[in-house]
Chains A and B, each alone.
Chain A
Amino acid sequence: MLLPSESALKADPHAVAGSTDYDIVIVGSGISGAIIAKQAAEAGKRVLVLEAGTGVNRSLVGYDDLLTTFYSAATKDNQSPFPMNANAAIPRSPQLRKLQAGETDSSTYIVQSGPYVSDTTYTRIFGGTTMHWEAKTPRMLRSDFKSRTIYGQGLDWPLSFEEVEEDYRLAEREIGVSANVEDQTYLGQTFPGDYVFPMRGLPLSYLDQQVNNGIDGTSVDLYGRTYPLKVRPYPQGRNGIPNPAYDGGAGYRPIGAVDTHQVEEGGRCQGNTNCVPLCPVQARYHSGKTLAKAFQMNGKSGQPLVDLLSQAVASKVVIDPDSGKVSALEVKVYKDAASPEHETITVKGKVFVLAAGAIETARLMLSSGLRSTSGLVGRNLMDHAYLLNWALMPQICGAMRGTSSTGGIVDLRDGPFREKQAAFAIDIHNDGWGWATGAPTSDLLELVDDRNLYGADLRQGLIDRISRQLLLAVMLEVLPVESNRITVDPQFTDALGNMRPVLSFTVPEYTMRGAAYARQFSRTVFARLGAQDHTSYDPRDFGYVAYEGQGYAIRGGNHLAGTHIMGTMKTNSVVDKNQRSWDHENLYLVGGGSMPTIGTANVTLTLAAMCFRSGRDILKYLH
């Protein structure tokens, strides 16, 4: 993708502060803000996007610097490409520790108030968490939108699947989803008429195929119902082979890499096995691709319609007491990531969109003193709970190759059992036990230091140990619970003096009942495969949760949602079905935070779909 060179320039903070012509001011350059910015620019509106990060990764050089940082990092955690920036800090899971009863740990950016310690992460840089995401893009199921009515659990959405379906298609186009319709029709999922995804599905990995060979045609019984097992491909937000049948035969042109000049990147997925934390070749979607299109749009006078102000941390939403409308945003603009020195500017616009992710948007609202009529800002925090199960396959399966995850076991995403326990979807990880044990580095250390192997025995030992690794990552449904929440506290602030998020969370019993079953389910799968189960959960693990006499290490999924849920009225929700604040008519809180439930779908596709809806509503409001 070619970007006009002037768009690589940063907006001037003083010009931005003095400007009175912004129709829309958006906080955050992640996928939510990007979609709304692009839609607005297409309608000729003036847009300002505020980004807390430095914005240097807008250019290819800046993007590739992140990759070099990753290569050089001794600990390659899921935030390792992203440099430290105390002015826009991000959670980093290696820093976590288990809490004692009643203890609060403020040593990390998210203050962990417990009892459960969450290793959930999000990324405060240009492109938001789409710079880091794995890009699995399943749709939510029909039943996920009305789980209260069907299963007596969670909340119903104020929207039905049918009302969201068309926007799912828009989101799949924007992201550039690779999938085959015939692989995605399980559990009664339907697609309209002759719909095809923009690109053909990515092939299952050799590991996926080996697992499928062991379970295809088998089934499990749960509460009297039988569920067939099979490894199915996941839809993926990364470039594959364009489907010529897309868009009624018009085809689809994949979106390449973002840069100021043409480069040989942004093509088809090459199998770097590094979707998280960073695709080295921009085959995986990130919202910079959407913004690049928005930055190219000019107004009648030839001036760009969308401005980006980086190093700009929104610190307060200012409300006009008479109208209840947002009158301005206070924004702290820093000059250098290494220094807290900053100036505070005031930004004006007609409509304000908070698109900073479920935790940061809630943090900004709460630190502005805006709890909403319902009092639900920050509450109902959700993130998928992951239970990891790992085993050695009897044969070489070629772990550590491929795109990070291509297939999984998804037939228990729905069923009457959801009256009693959480549904789940299982990813098969092509990068071995990495998430669970730190493989392959941990294997190298064990074989050299503890098993005293060297030479041919070491080399063979590494093959036998690593190439057979299978990780089943069980992604469990988590329902909204009001006491699971983000708060703020003036005693916990960051380098700029902004209040940091304080997280209080208990993994709901519904989820733990699902986790206990998922553990048994994984053991059953391993038995059918003849795989050696190596799973163990350490009681000292920060995410250790005891349930019915057993213990499980629960991991966060980074699928954050629920802190400003949508609903049918201002007393039961923070935003309406268009993600507009009930209390402030020119304020939209968008993103995962608006989702009342998350089912077993990674949240990005759904929140992207909802932003298309909000974008239309904003344009209607402006007219």
Chain B
Amino acid sequence: MSNRIEIFLTLSAELTAFSRFDLLGTGLAEAYLGTLDRVVGDDITDTLLAAFVALPPPEDSTRSQALRATILGNELLGDVARSLTKLWYSGTWFELSYAWTQRFGPKPADATFVVSPDAYVEGLLWKAIGAHPAGAKAPGYGSWAYPPKIPAFPGSSTAKSEAISVHLQNAGIMS
């Protein structure tokens, strides 16, 4: 399959709601595609990418339903896509379900593991909630006294985070 990394990035962006730009910014796209190849094998990875390419175009209203039917709800691909989503969010590959292994055979590299120390640090989860990974990317002294800056994204209900009022007088940081 040509241009695998591009398809992989587009698939990942759709699963995570983070932009291709954000995903490349982690510096881990190749490592994660490589993880997928190593754990479930190139053939299953290619099947996943092919199923994604075959979806109706983004502007088509049936695309989301098709993604659920042919990827997330597919017996072979569903658990793999979910593990990929969790990988992007946390930097950890989570072992596939017992049922998947029973049905499709055990994969020797399929265990729960952190892909690399920087994979933990680059987990998207922290960015999603306007926080930082525990033990890294510290926001600075006293930053915790202020409301979180939760990034907006297409489809987010940004009203919530914007509605937060600031109570500097209670923070003690202004004294």
On A, residues with C-beta under 8 Å from B are 67-68, 70-74, 76, 180, 201-206, 209, 212-213, 233, 240-241, 268-274, 278, 280-281, 395-396, 398-403, 406, 430-431, 440-441, 444-445, 448-449, 452, 454-460, 462-464, 466-467
Q: Which of A71, A213, A444, A459 has the most chain B CB atoms closer than 10 A to its own CB? A: A459
Is A402 within 8 A of B156, CB to CB?
Answer: no
Which residue, A270, A402, A454, has most C-beta atoms of chain B within 10 A? A454
B109 at the interface (CB under 8 A from A): no
Contact A270 B129 (CB under 8 A): no
In the assembled complex, 15 residue pairs joining A and B whose CB atoms fall closer than 8 Å, in A order, are A203-B171, A204-B172, A270-B138, A272-B138, A400-B131, A401-B132, A402-B145, A431-B134, A444-B125, A454-B15, A455-B155, A456-B155, A460-B155, A462-B125, A467-B131
Q: What are the residues of chain A within 8 A of B170 when measuring CB–CB?
A: 204, 209, 212-213
Query: Within the assembled complex, what's the spacing in Å between the Cα atoms of A458 and B153?
Result: 12
Residue on B nearest A180 in the bound complex, by CB = B172
Q: Give the one of B86, B132, B150, B170 with max A CB within 10 A.
A: B170
Name the residue of chain A whose CB is nearest to the CB of B145. A203
A180 vs B175: C-alpha distance when bound (angstroms): 12
Closest to A464 in B: B160
Identify A280's interface contact among B116, B125, B136, B144, CB under 8 A: B136
Chain B positions within 8 Å of A271 at CB level: 132, 138-144
In the docked arrangement, what's the CA distance between A452 and B121, Å? 25
Q: Which residues of A contact B144 (CB under 8 A)?
A: 203, 205-206, 271, 273, 398, 401-403, 406, 430
Contact B173 A203 (CB under 8 A): yes
Q: Pick from B85, B114, B138 the residue with the most CB of A within 10 Å.
A: B138
Distance in angstroms between the alpha carbons of A458 and B141 in the assembled complex: 30
Q: Which listed residue, B94, B135, B163, touches A70 by the CB 8 Å rule?
A: B135
Q: Which 9 A-B pairs have the closest CB atoms?
A: A402-B144, A456-B155, A270-B138, A398-B148, A274-B135, A71-B117, A400-B131, A203-B145, A459-B17
Let me know if B45 is at the binding interface, CB within 8 A.
Answer: no
Beta-carbon contact of A270 and B156 below 8 Å: no
Question: B72 within 8 Å of A by Cβ?
Answer: yes
Is B154 at the interface (CB under 8 A from chain A)? yes
A74-B113, A456-B153 known; A67+B135 contact, CB < 8 A:
yes
- Give complex CA distance A55, B129 in Å: 37
B97-116 contacts to A, CB under 8 A, are 112-114, 116
> Does B82 belong to the interface (CB within 8 Å)?
yes
Contacts of B173 in A (CB 8 A): 203
**B: interface residue count bin:** 35 or more
Q: Are B145 and A280 in contact (CB under 8 A)?
A: no
Q: What CA separation (Å) do A268 and B173 show in the bound complex?
A: 14
Nearest A residue to B91 via CB reads A71
For A204, the chain B residues whose CB sits under 8 A away are 145, 170-172
**B139, A401: Cβ atoms closer than 8 Å:** yes
B residues whose Cβ falls under 8 Å from a Cβ of A: 14-18, 67-68, 72, 81-82, 85-86, 89-90, 92, 94, 112-114, 116-118, 120-121, 125-126, 128-132, 134-136, 138-148, 150, 153-157, 160-161, 163-164, 167, 170-173
Contact between chains at A270 and B141 (CB < 8 Å): yes
B145 touches A209 (CB 8 A): yes
Give the residue among B14, B131, B155 with the most A Cβ atoms within 10 A: B131
With A204-B145, A440-B125, A460-B156 as contacts: A270 and B139 at CB distance below 8 Å: yes
- Whether A281 lies near B114 (C-beta < 8 A) is no
A396 touches B148 (CB 8 A): yes
Give chain A residues whose Cβ lies under 8 Å from the Cβ of B89. 444, 448, 462
User: Given the complex, which residues of B lie within 8 Å of A463, measured CB to CB?
Assistant: 128-130, 150, 156, 160-161
With a cutoff of 8 Å between Cβ atoms, the chain B residues found around residue A466 in the complex are 125, 129
CB of A280 within 8 A of CB of B15, answer no
Name A454's contact: one of B85, B146, B150, B154 (CB within 8 Å). Answer: B85
Residues of B within 8 A of A430 (CB): 144
- What is the interface of chain A mostly: helix, strand, loop, or mixed? loop
Q: Kindly list chain B residues whose C-beta atoms are within 8 Å of the C-beta of A456.
A: 17, 153-156
Q: How far is the CB of B166 from chain A (nearest CB, A)?
A: 9
Contact B131 A398 (CB under 8 A): yes
- A63 to B68 alpha-carbon distance, docked (Å): 46
Are B135 and A278 closer than 8 Å at their CB atoms?
A: yes
Q: How far is the CB of B136 from chain A (nearest CB, A)?
A: 7
* A68: B residues at CB distance < 8 A: 117
Distance of A269 Cα from B89 Cα, bound (Å): 26
Across-interface contacts of B117 in A (CB, < 8 A): 68, 71-72
Measured between beta carbons, the chain A residues less than 8 angstroms from B150 are: 396, 463, 467
Q: Is the CB of B148 within 8 A of A455?
A: no
Question: Contacts A396-B150, A445-B86 given: A71-B128 contact, CB under 8 Å?
Answer: no
14 extra interchain contacts, Cβ-Cβ under 8 A, other than A274-B134, A396-B161, A398-B130?
A71-B118, A71-B136, A203-B172, A206-B144, A206-B145, A209-B171, A270-B138, A271-B139, A281-B138, A396-B148, A459-B17, A459-B18, A462-B89, A463-B128
Cβ-defined contact, A270 with B140, below 8 A: yes
Contact B155 A399 (CB under 8 A): no
Centre residue among A67, A180, A212, A466 by max chain B CB count within 10 A: A466
* Contact pick for A398, options B67, B138, B147, CB 8 Å: B147
Q: Is B85 touching A73 in the complex (CB atoms < 8 A)?
A: no
A233 and B171 alpha carbons, distance in the complex (Å): 10
When distances are taken between beta carbons in the complex, the residues of chain B under 8 Å from A445 are 86, 94
Q: A448 touches which one: B85, B131, B154 (CB < 8 A)?
A: B85
Q: Which residues of B contact A241 (CB under 8 A)?
A: 141
Contact A459 B120 (CB under 8 A): no
Q: Which residues of B contact A395 (CB under 8 A)?
A: 160, 163-164
Residue of A nearest to B141 (CB): A268
Residues of B within 8 A of A460 (CB): 155-157
Report the minimum CB–CB distance from B132 to chain A (whole Å): 7
Chain A hits for B113, CB < 8 A? 74
CA distance A460 to B152 in the complex (A): 10
- B79's nearest neighbour on chain A, judged by CB, is A449
- A205 nearest CB neighbor, chain B only: B144
A-side contacts of B130, CB under 8 Å: 398, 401, 463, 467
Residues of A within 8 A of B167 (CB): 206, 209, 213
Q: Check if A402 sits within 8 Å of B143, measured CB to CB.
A: yes
Chain B hits for A270, CB < 8 A: 138-141
| Contact assessment for A280 and B92 in the assembled complex, using a CB-CB cutoff below 8 Å | no
Given A203-B172, A271-B141, A449-B82, do A455 and B17 touch, yes or no (CB 8 Å)? yes
Residue ID in chain A nearest B163 by CB atoms:
A395
CA–CA, A502 and B173, complex, Å: 47
Measured CA separation A70–B134 after assembly (Å): 10
Cross-chain contact of A273 among B134, B147, B172 (Cβ < 8 A):
B134
CA distance A444 to B155 in the complex (A): 19
A400 to B126, CA, bound (A): 8
Contacts of B128 in A (CB 8 A): 459, 462-463
- A216: nearest chain-B partner, CB-CB: B170
Given the interface pairs A280-B135, A431-B134, A467-B129, the reply to whether A458 lies near B147 with Cβ below 8 Å is no
Q: Residue of A at shortest CB range from B92?
A: A74
Docked pose: A445 CA to B112 CA in angstroms: 13
Closest Cβ neighbor of A466 among chain B residues: B129
**Minimum CB–CB distance for A404 against chain B, Å:** 9
How many Å lie between the Cα of A431 and that of B131 in the bound state? 10
Residue of A nearest to B142 (CB): A203
